[in-house]
Amino acid sequence: MTDRDEVVRREPDRPDDTPPTAQPPVFGSQPPADGATGPVPRLRPPTWAPQGPPPPSWPAGPPDPDTTVLPMQPSSYAERIRPADLVPARKSVPARGWRRVLYKATFGAVNLGPSPAERHVAALEAAIRAPLRGHFKVGVLGKGGVGKTTVSACIGSVFAELRQDDRVVAVDADTAFGKLGSRVDPRVQGSFWELATDRHLDTFADVRNRVGSNAAGLFVLAGEATPARRRVLDPPLYREAVARLDRYFTIAVVDCSSTMDAPVTQEAMRDLDALVVVSSPWVDGAAAAGQTLDWLAAHGMNSLLQRTIVVLNDSDGHASKRTRTILAQQFSGHGQRVVEVPFDGNLRPGGIIDGTGDMSPAARVKFVEICAALAAHFPPR
Which region, left, alpha or beta, applies to residue 355 given φ > 0 means left and ψ of -120 to 50 means alpha?
A: left
* One-letter identity of residue 19: P
Distance CA 268, CA 275 (A): 11
For domain 132-375, give the fold.
Answer: Rossmann fold (3.40.50)
Output the pLDDT for position 26. 46
Helix axes 283-298, 321-332, angle to 10 degrees: 10
> Where do the H-state alpha helices sit in 269-320?
283-298, 302-306
Q: Does residue 303 sit in helix, strand or coil?
A: helix
Cβ atoms 96, 342 nearer than 8 A: no
SS3 state of residue 275:
strand
In the 8-state DSSP scheme, what is residue 145?
T
Instruction: Write down the H helix ranges in 163-218.
Output: 180-184, 192-197, 204-208
Per-residue confidence in pLDDT tens, the chain, 381 aa: 555 455 444 454 544 554 555 555 444 445 454 444 555 455 455 554 455 555 555 455 566 665 665 566 666 767 677 766 666 667 777 777 777 777 778 877 777 777 788 889 999 999 999 999 999 999 999 988 899 999 999 999 999 999 999 999 999 998 877 889 989 998 888 889 889 988 888 899 999 999 999 999 999 999 876 666 667 889 999 999 999 999 999 999 999 988 888 899 999 999 999 999 999 998 888 999 999 999 999 999 999 999 999 999 998 888 888 888 899 998 988 888 999 999 998 887 778 898 888 899 999 999 999 999 999 999 876
pLDDT, residue 69, reads 58
Q: In a 3-state reduction of DSSP, which class is residue 309?
A: strand
Q: What is the pLDDT of residue 67?
A: 62
Domain extents in the chain: 91-128, 132-375
